[in-house]
Amino acid sequence: MFIGHFGTAFAAKKIDSRPSLGTLMLAAQFIDLLWPVLLLLGIEKVAIDPGNTTVTPLDFYHYPISHSPLGVLGWGVLLGFVYYLVRKNWKGSLLLAALVLSHWVLDLVTHRPDLPLIPGMEVKVGFGLWNSLIGTLLVELAVFIGGVYLYMKMTRAKNGKGKYATWGLILFLVLVYSSNIFGAAPPSVEPIAYVGMLQWLLVLWGYWIDGNREVR
Ligand SMILES: [Zn+2]
């Protein structure tokens, strides 16, 4: 899943409006922000395998640190704890931890059984929604559009930047998503990791948006 994770970040603003949209995006996408770093370090592995599922040509055959329940729990607690130290906001820190976990739950729905249940063991899970293009689009767009709707109801632009930066990000995510789904398979693993790293810029984009919007 890609765009759906951003949907949960947008939606989370409704639960606690204090964390910046950038922080919410950081949490919801945290394990996918970590993953390219681990790929480049050679700690986690992915292979290009067109047809692996209908939607993705990637075979996520080894990613226990970013995408096992234990790993995700650890990252969620860590992120929530750091946020609490900085902001002293319990509700927000629990929300961020829940967002980190939500990523794994949404991945569980979409991935084929490739998510390692326990690091080092061969038990892998995934409900395989990615085997259906229509199913994937329906679920993922529903989560994304629902999240955007809640965010727009919850906040308003303070100025032109707050308006256009938000719509710009939404449009950009939709474009990236369609090129992921309908574009050609990547030529090798390295570009996947480098493009994955660019997602950090989306987080900065979230902070920029948040600075130019206010709670209604
Ligand atoms: Zn993921």
With CA atoms as reference, report the closest residue to 19 among 96, 74, 97: 96
> What is the domain count for the chain?
1
Position 92 pLDDT exceeds 90: yes
What would the mean pLDDT of 88-101 be, rounded to a whole number?
98
pLDDT digits (tens, 9 = 90+) for 22-55: 999 999 999 999 999 999 999 999 999 999 999 9
Q: How far is the CA of 206 from the centre of ligand 1 (A)?
A: 19
Is 156 strand, coil or helix? strand
CB 29 within 8 A of CB 203: yes
CA–centroid distance, 107 to ligand 1, in Å, is 6
Residue 164 alpha carbon to ligand 1 centre in Å: 28
- Cα(104) to ligand 1 centroid in Å equals 6
Give the whole-angstrom CA distance, residue 121 versus residue 26. Answer: 29
- Tens digit of pLDDT for each residue in 58-67? 999 999 999 9
Length of the chain: 216
Domain of 159?
Answer: 3-215
Q: Report the separation in Å between the CA atom of 116 and the middle of ligand 1, taken as the mean of its atom positions.
A: 12
Query: What's the pLDDT at 118?
Result: 84
